[in-house]
């Protein structure tokens, strides 16, 4: 009995002596659990979780507008594509058995195809996808493209007769004067995989080898390639249209050419964003509303006039003067599902090519 009383007394003294630490610690943890569960104060039923591979500076304003217009709280995880660190895509794959995300905003359809192949996405055909050309959406509704980048040739002003085809990379006239981004990542990989699907393996491999023999330089990303061209270190590079437009708006001495627009030429590779519904999404209704919003003409208009300068896939949407409407472009006719499969198969070749 005495021991029990003593123990109780000791416990009381302990609590009194350390009430500040214990209370603060407990409040902190409690705050974190509550804020984590409620997502910072919003109603769980009125929220949507989106994983985003599009750059945060461009995607966040769109998501904020959606939240304001619908009252649905948006909780986002953003990617760090530039830093090549693991991000949204890998989280989705890692969380496959217990999905936390409702929607995935991919910055290229290849990622969306990978999710479909891994059984992570679900089919949803949005009413806003009707006017989007068939080549830019999955036929079963597992992803739908919107707001695209074009793969373009950015050329320094000082170049008198600029190249108009990607075959310029193998032209001896440009030996040592061209640069391309690391082909193991991003849109460069996607375009190379696309060439493999339309040219065949042999022709595509020969093209890559000839590029190396023509002393093409490698950069870490499209932005760096564009900066190299702007500084005059190289004459041209194959980059995304948003990188080129971005530097043009900054007044850098570069211009943009849509390659291979001739009659028997391949056309330029288009890289749309893609909206994906996640299989087993915790909030499917809010997810569908978000996808409808992303696929709307208004979103495409905003992304066209933002610094990302992305080309709307709906016809009739206003665009800035630096861009061409999608229906005025000769587009490379590819099957993105085939490109996604080919991308994985050519990785050993690309790794070996890097070591040449």
Which parts of this chain interact with another protein (CB under 8 A)?
10, 14, 17-18, 25, 28-29, 31-33, 35-37, 39-40, 49-51, 55-58, 73-87, 89-91, 93-95, 97-98, 100-101, 114, 184-185, 189, 220, 223, 227, 231, 246, 307-308, 344, 347, 351, 354-355
Instruction: Please state the closest distance from residue 315 (CB atom) to another protein, in A.
Output: 27
We find the least distance from the C-beta atom of residue 317 to another protein, in angstroms, to be 22
**Looking at beta carbons only, is 85 or 264 nearer to another protein?**
85
Selection from 136, 96, 98, 87 nearest residue 116 by Cα? 96
| 101 versus 122: smaller Cβ distance to another protein | 101
3-state helix, strand, coil split of the chain in percent (to 5) is 50, 15, 35
Q: Which is nearer to another protein, 64 or 333 (CB)?
A: 64
Nearer to another protein, 162 or 223 (CB): 223
DSSP 8-class letter at 346:
T
CB 269, min distance to another protein, A: 19
**Min separation Cβ 263 and another protein, Å:** 36
Maximum alpha-carbon separation in the chain: 99
CA nearest to 104, candidates 329, 274, 314: 274
Cα 23 to the center of its chain, rounded Å: 44
Which spans in 265-316 are helix H? Answer: 284-294, 297-305
Closer to another protein at the Cβ: 15 or 157? 15
Shorter beta-carbon distance to another protein: residue 92 or 295: 92
Cα–Cα distances (Å) from 242 to 85, 151, 248, 304, 342, in that order, read 22, 9, 10, 10, 25
Task: Give me the least distance between CB of 34 and another protein, in Å please.
Answer: 8
Q: Report, in Å, the least distance between residue 268 CB and another protein.
A: 22
Give me Rg for the CA atoms of the chain.
25
As measured in angstroms, the least distance from the Cβ of 303 to another protein is 13
Q: Which is nearer to another protein, 47 or 126 (CB)?
A: 47
Residue written as token pair 């990622």:
111
Counting Cβ atoms within 10 Å, is residue 341 exposed (0-12), middle (13-18) or buried (19+)? middle
Q: Rounded to 5 degrees, what are φ and ψ at 79?
A: -90, 165
176 is written with which tokens?
Answer: 């040592």
CA distance linking residue 260 with residue 312, whole number of Å:
21
């Amino acid at each position: 009995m005495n021991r029990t009383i003593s123990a109780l007394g000791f416990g009381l003294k302990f609590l009194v002596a350390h009430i500040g630490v214990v209370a603060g610690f407990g409040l902190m943890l409690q705050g974190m659990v509550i804020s984590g569960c409620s997502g910072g104060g919003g109603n769980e039923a009125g929220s949507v979780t989106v994983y985003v591979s599009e750059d945060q500076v461009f995607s966040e304003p769109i998501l904020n507008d959606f939240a304001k217009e619908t009252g649905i709280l948006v909780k986002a995880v953003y990617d760090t594509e530039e830093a090549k660190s693991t991000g949204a895509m890998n989280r989705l794959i890692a969380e496959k058995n217990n999905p936390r995300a409702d929607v995935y905003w991919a910055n290229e359809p290849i990622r969306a195809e990978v999710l479909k192949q891994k059984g992570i996405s679900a089919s949803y055909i949005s009413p806003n996808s009707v006017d989007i050309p068939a080549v830019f959406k999955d036929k079963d509704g597992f992803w739908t493209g919107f707001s695209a980048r074009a793969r373009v040739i950015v050329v320094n002003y000082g170049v008198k007769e600029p190249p108009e085809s990607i075959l310029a990379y193998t032209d001896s006239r440009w030996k040592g004067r061209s640069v391309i981004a690391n082909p193991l990542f991003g849109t460069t990989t996607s375009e190379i995989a696309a060439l493999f699907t339309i040219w065949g393996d042999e022709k595509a491999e020969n093209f890559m080898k000839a590029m190396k023999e023509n002393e093409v330089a490698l950069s870490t990303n499209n932005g760096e390639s564009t900066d190299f061209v702007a500084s005059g270190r190289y004459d041209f590079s194959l980059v995304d249209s948003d990188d080129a437009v971005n530097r043009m708006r900054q007044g850098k001495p570069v211009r943009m050419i849509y390659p291979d627009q001739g009659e028997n030429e391949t056309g330029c590779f288009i890289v749309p964003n893609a909206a994906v519904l996640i299989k087993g999404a915790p909030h499917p209704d809010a997810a569908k509303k978000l996808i409808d919003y992303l696929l709307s003409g208004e979103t495409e208009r905003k992304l066209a006039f933002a610094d990302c300068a992305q080309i709307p896939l709906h016809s009739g949407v206003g665009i800035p003067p630096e861009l061409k409407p999608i229906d005025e472009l000769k587009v490379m006719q590819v099957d993105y599902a085939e490109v996604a499969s080919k991308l994985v198969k050519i990785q050993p070749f690309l790794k070996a090519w890097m070591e040449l």
